[in-house]
Amino acid sequence: MTDRISGITLSSVTLPLKAAISDAKVLTGRQRPMTEVAFLFAEIRTEEGLEGVGFSYSKRAGGPAQFAHAREVAPDLIGEDPNDIQRLWTKLVWAGASVGRSGASTQAIAALDVALWDLKAKRAGLPLAKLLGAHRDSVRCYDTSGGFLHEPIEQVLANATASLASGIGGLKIKVGHPSTAVDLARVRAVREHIGDETPLMVDANQQWDRPTAQRAGRALEEFGLVWIEEPLDAYDAEGHAALARSLDTAIASGEMLTSVAEHHELIRHRAVDILQPDAPRIGGITQFLKLAALADHANLTLAPHFAMEIHVHLAAAYPHEPWVEHFDWLHPLFNERLEIRDGRLHLSTRPGLGVTLSEQTRGWTVDRADIGAPA
């Protein structure tokens, strides 16, 4: 007998950050320091008593929009077979077709989509990666949260020591300071501190123009970086392609794009060596799998952005050895932790995503909607 979706709970949750975060976008005046992250959680229940949990998020703005859109389209899932995920994704997109197939609308759908995949893996009694078909039981990980530009270099070095001691495999620090000389001095200090063998990446957060990116990229070659991330505007595929051809260091981008179609432009132009999709931003796991197939065909490395609780599963199921970005910001939201050992994130044996929402998450809920049968 076919199971049916009986109820959905949507929660808008505001996660406060311990300190205001600044990257190059703040130093160039384009954004304010980030003090919180807005999350949209979806909890989907079925007539047989199964439940799946998914989430999406927004930084600085957009959280209320995601919640509002999800509340409008989620009723279309009531009574549906939760196994038909691809069909349901299309149904939800058409339910809100007038607002398009990227941005806040599909990011709202992402929370529902992730919850459906979590539910499906739980029904099978498998971790999500195993349901998808894992290539590995652990994934290389690198830390970002200790390398922001608002911190003095002494603190960045202390953060690097702590990250590596915890078992994390690589480090990424922010660049894009108004003075390239300051960027180079910070990168040099970190490289000397961690040694030549530890993987090191930098992230300019789209704040360079093409000449600056070219000059900075050449100057950074000596540090043996794994990649230079977002050296240019996220939508400048031609500029990224020219940079990728001219530098030995790999070019990475993609986190700010909000659809498979936008990522396809990077792939079509051969603009990046490393693609950095974000499943919640591009519409969820269903869309991520489509993009992963395109990236695999192009022989690209994947390094999914943020949301490691989702991306460790998707990276484990990618044919080419990927990277996953480690952020401890989300720890208070979940009761479980991913194991970090020998430079890698290790999959748990728990079914689905392997996470449950903490009581603190309930306390940070600012809006909630129950659709269908209440929780």
Summarised one tens digit per residue, pLDDT across range 310-344 is 999 999 999 999 999 998 888 999 999 999 999 99
CA–CA gap between residue 368 and residue 11 (Å, rounded)? 4
Q: How much is the pLDDT for 37?
A: 87
User: Among this protein's residues, is 326 annotated catalytic?
Assistant: no
Q: Which is the catalytic residue, given 130, 263, 305, 326?
A: 305
pLDDT bin (cut points 50, 70, 90) of residue 100 is confident
Average pLDDT, the chain: 93
Amino acid 347 reads L
What percent of the chain has a predicted confidence (pLDDT) above 90?
82
Mean pLDDT of 169-196: 94
Q: What is the pLDDT of residue 22?
A: 67
Q: Are 3 and 50 spatial neighbours (Cβ–Cβ below 8 Å)? A: yes
CA dihedral 229, 230, 236, 241 (to 10 degrees): -10
| H or E element at residue 348 | none
375 band by pLDDT with thresholds 50, 70 and 90: low
pLDDT at 220: 97
Please tell me the predicted confidence (pLDDT) of residue 168.
96
* Contact predicate 91/76, CB 8 Å: yes
132-172 pLDDT, tens per residue? 999 999 999 999 887 788 889 999 999 999 999 999 999 99
H-helix or E-strand containing 235? none
Catalytic residue chosen out of the listed positions 25, 120, 174, 177? 174
Mean pLDDT lowest among 20-34, 106-120, 294-308, 339-353: 20-34
Highest mean pLDDT, choosing among 56-65, 92-101, 193-202:
193-202
CA dist 225 and 208 (Å) reads: 18
pLDDT average, residue stretch 195-208:
95
Q: Report the pLDDT averaged over residues 263-279.
A: 97
Domains of the chain (ranges; CATH) run 5-125+359-372 (3.30.390.10), 129-346 (3.20.20.120)
CA nearest neighbour of 176 among 223, 224, 209: 209
Stretch among 13-17, 100-104, 175-179, 306-310 having the lowest mean pLDDT: 100-104
Mean pLDDT, residues 248-261? 95
Residue 75, pLDDT > 80, answer: yes
Please report the pLDDT score of residue 3 as a whole number. 94
Query: Strand runs (DSSP E) across the chain, as ranges?
Result: 5-21, 34-46, 51-59, 138-143, 170-174, 200-203, 227-229, 250-253, 274-275, 301-302, 323-326, 339-341, 344-346, 365-372
Q: Is the predicted pLDDT of residue 238 greater than 90, yes or no?
A: yes
Residue 8 has pLDDT above 80, yes or no: yes
Enter the tokens of residue 6.
Answer: 């009986």
Nearest one of 311, 303, 372 to 110, comparing CA atoms? 311
Active-site residue, 174 included = yes
CA dihedral sign of residues 158, 164, 165, 168? positive
Q: What pLDDT shows up at residue 151? A: 86
